[in-house]
Structure 1
Amino acid sequence: MQATLSPSVTLTKIPTYIYAVVFSSLCIVWGLLWDIMWHMSIGRDGLFAPPHLLMYVGAVVAGLFSGVKILQLTFARRNTERTHSVRFWGIFYGSLGAMYCVWGALTMLTSAPFDDWWHNTYGLDVQILTPPHTVLLVGMMTVQFGAMIGVLALQNRFSNSLTNSPFSDNSRNKQQANQLKIMFTIAAGLLLSILYTMLAEKLGPWASHHSSAYITMGIAFPFYLLAVGRASPLRYPITITAIAYMLAMLIPSWILPLFPATPRLGPVLNPITHYQAFVFPLLLVIPGFVLDKLLHRFGNGQINDWLLAVFTGTAFVLIISVVQWYFGAFLHTSPNARNWFFLSDSMSYSDDPTSPYHHTFHPYWLQSTAGFLKGIGVAILCAILSARVGLLWGNWMKRVQR
């Protein structure tokens, strides 16, 4: 006999579409990183370039599996999973996650011909956030948010059922529940990878001695990390999410430079012969571990959320600024960072290898001590507000079951 979440959802089976949408999220991240490295190493691409195909695979898999799930719930009127679904457009039934995945997949596929036209009209991109890439990123993040919410809803329903079920000691049930908890942090880490990539031009090692980088971090990351930390029942969800993000970012940058690549679009200032890696990501795992500890100590009602936001936002900025000040300087200036692991020897074919600022801070990215400290103060204020919104969002995510 099996304990049940509802008459049709058992604790011993995770739906196939959940695995599919998390796989799609991974395809999207690695396709995007491959596309960036393709532009750095080869330049010219087309609508059906290999990195684009990998992203399209992610969109199609997420859209198809989620669409089929929605159609099953819509037309199988006796399907008791409807009680855990949302009705939209007056016709369809589906989970929030499935709906986001379908909308995101359609947006991604719509952006493809727009991007192809943009390249044919304006040539090679010189920025990440061009109009077609912005549409694509919106679609990507919508698919990934759908994957994250899809896992989250099932995680919450499993957790509630295990708490109230007489069969909660069943080891199989606990194994499935723990698997969902891990899948949620992996899905969250993949979405964090896209968030970082979108902001990478402002957060690279070259910017680690300028307060603008920490203001950007203070706005973007406490919001997201604390929402994940509050929504997950794991003991160290922010830490695991940060590890998943780092591995998602680093694995393609470690593997692709092993393969040959030559520029196909001029001017070629740096005649490379292999793929060039993207960038070593921020060490969010260190402040993430501290945020987990603060949530353990104060996040269960010991103090109100505004005070918790002050503690977590301040801690995040102070820790990440110290960590990245030194680690960013290491990556940007040290010869010991110019290797396969730390990626600091990577250089686009369009970069001038004789520039004196490849491994030295440009004056633009340097500040006086007073200016830097003032900026860190602004970053702390931004992080506190970001953390407070993140805690609110996390409270909402804890209640998601559809």
Structure 2
Amino acid sequence: MESTAAPASVFLEREGAAESADSIPWYLTAVLFASAAVIVGITWDISWHRTIGRDTLFTPAHLLVYAGGLAAGLSCGWLALKTTFSGTGAEVGRSVRLWGFRAPLGAWVAIWGAIAMLASAPLDDWWHNAYGLDVEILSPPHVVLALGIYAIQVGALLMALAWHNRASETGRRKLAWAYVFSAAMLILSVSVLLMEYTFPNQMHGATFHRVMAAVFPVLLFAIGRAGQMRWPATCAALVYTGVSLATMWVLPLFPGEPMLAPILRPVTHMQPSEFPLLLIAPAIVVDLLLRRHSAPGEVPERALTDWGTAAVGGVAFVGIFGAIQWYFADFMLSEGARNYFFQGDTWGYTSAPGAWQYEFWHGGQFLTGEFSAAGFAAAAWWALPIAFVSARAGLWLGNWWLRVRR
């Protein structure tokens, strides 16, 4: 007689699906907390440098960053030990083997990020003692720290994706928000890395538009393609905006004064970061484009669809996002933005006051001197092919994200 028993893989899949549908596991919650803690801590640390200047290993901002690194490292380390030595068949089946141990792919990435982050702390302390304040954001210790932070963000995203993709219909509704939150923290991390390019004074320059076209379409299209909900890219952009605004509004409530020369302007409270990028508008367009060609979380059958979607989406991103940020930059340099809500005209104590605060900066590699429409167009048109490549890469990445199960 032929056996009617289902293959073991079917039972593993059913067990994994049932477990996914019940609740978000505590270790995924811990990693999501870590992803938020490290980037909010970094934003706080940048404000600390702009306001106070003097730095020690155990400032409150650093402690929040370390807490995030420890939460990711300890929770994922526990998960690796548990899966290796006492994991169920389903847990072992959805894990990745490394050096004799087993854990989900996202957990391994987060563990590596936690090790890199915590290793960078004493290196950064030594760097400051030897050379003083950082002249640039990306000093050698900060490069190690940044790699660790992004590894935790990617690890959290991969863990959320694995649970999201294995979930039943009921569980997917809850896990979709875990995925969206992890994606939003990744957007926030990238925006912090690019902050030297995103002052309102730079938004009439071609470099700003090219950099934005290279970075954000890949994120928005990947998030939109892999999200199994109606508006994944839009929701991620909303969460990014909400967290950014919260930190921007909370930091100035606390007093702070410079403690390291040269002090070139009076500062009495913690200086916030810039108003968040207006990514909600292009995110809506991305979601609408993806819904037109495929259902949420579904890969279209024809590859040509992705090429066409990327072409339309790249042009839409450059046109819509570029136009919105262009006019918003005009407002941010006006008196109307110099209030608590928009936090316009906020500068660190090392920036000497001057007319430059209220002017667009047109100097640089591609634009020199006063603004020239012809010069801007000659340099900025490159944003279109860059956005096309970025959007196509995002769709490819999103298709891969949809297959993440471990």
> TM-score normalised to the size of structure 1?
0.92
Kindly provide the amino acid, as one letter, of the partner of residue 84 in structure 1: R
Which secondary structure does the structure 2 equivalent of 1:140 belong to? helix
Which secondary structure does the structure 1 equivalent of 2:357 belong to? coil
Q: CA RMSD in A?
A: 1.7
Distance 1:271 1:396, change over 3 A: same
Tell me how far 1:4 sits from its aligned partner: 4.5
User: Partners of 1:130 and 1:400 in 2: how far apart?
Assistant: 34
Correspondent of 2:232 among 234, 237, 249: 237
Correspondent of 1:56 among 57, 62, 66: 66
Tell me how far 1:367 sits from its aligned partner: 3.6
Kindly provide the amino acid, as one letter, of the partner of residue 250 in structure 2: I
Tell me how far 1:376 sits from its aligned partner: 2.8
Tell me how far 1:351 sits from its aligned partner: 1.3
User: Partners of 1:268 and 1:105 in 2: how far apart?
Assistant: 35
Q: How does 1:173-252 map to 2 (within 5 A)?
A: 174=170, 176-252=171-247
Which secondary structure does the structure 2 equivalent of 1:9 belong to? helix
Q: How does 1:391-402 map to 2 (within 5 A)?
A: 391-402=395-406
Q: Does 1:34 pair with 2:29?
A: no
Indicate conservation of the 8 Å contact 2:73/2:111, yes or no: yes
User: Partners of 2:378 and 2:276 in 1: how far apart?
Assistant: 25
**1:378 corresponding residue in structure 2:** 382
Tell me how far 1:10 sits from its aligned partner: 5.0
Cα deviations by residue, 1:50-102 (Å, 9 ceiling, x for unpaired): 1011000000001100110110000115553111111112x111101111110
Which secondary structure does the structure 1 equivalent of 2:124 belong to? helix
Indicate conservation of the 8 Å contact 2:204/2:362, yes or no: no
Correspondent of 1:156 among 159, 165, 171: 165
Kindly provide the amino acid, as one letter, of the partner of residue 348 in structure 2: S
Q: Does 1:134 pair with 2:135?
A: no
Kindly provide the amino acid, as one letter, of the partner of residue 369 in structure 1: A
Give the percent of matched residue pairs that are identical in Structure 1 and Structure 2. Answer: 42
User: Partners of 2:232 and 2:310 in 1: how far apart?
Assistant: 17
Indicate conservation of the 8 Å contact 1:277/1:346, yes or no: yes
Structure 2 residue runs of 5 or longer lacking an equivalent are 1-12, 295-299, 365-369
Indicate conservation of the 8 Å contact 2:264/2:352, yes or no: yes
Q: Does 1:265 pair with 2:287?
A: no
**1:72 corresponding residue in structure 2:** 82
Kindly provide the amino acid, as one letter, of the partner of residue 28 in structure 1: V
Structure 1 residue runs of 5 or longer lacking an equivalent are 163-173
Correspondent of 1:25 among 30, 35, 60: 35
**1:291 corresponding residue in structure 2:** 286
**1:349 corresponding residue in structure 2:** 349
Tell me how far 1:374 sits from its aligned partner: 2.4
Indicate conservation of the 8 Å contact 1:222/1:383, yes or no: yes
Kindly provide the amino acid, as one letter, of the partner of residue 348 in structure 1: G
User: Partners of 1:377 and 1:395 in 2: how far apart?
Assistant: 28
Which secondary structure does the structure 1 equivalent of 2:97 belong to? strand
Correspondent of 2:124 among 112, 115, 124: 115
Kindly provide the amino acid, as one letter, of the partner of residue 109 in structure 1: L
> TM-score normalised to the size of structure 2?
0.91
Cα deviations by residue, 1:179-202 (Å, 9 ceiling, x for unpaired): 210111111011111101101111
User: How many pairs does the alignment contain?
Assistant: 383
Which secondary structure does the structure 2 equivalent of 1:264 belong to? coil
Indicate conservation of the 8 Å contact 1:317/1:376, yes or no: no
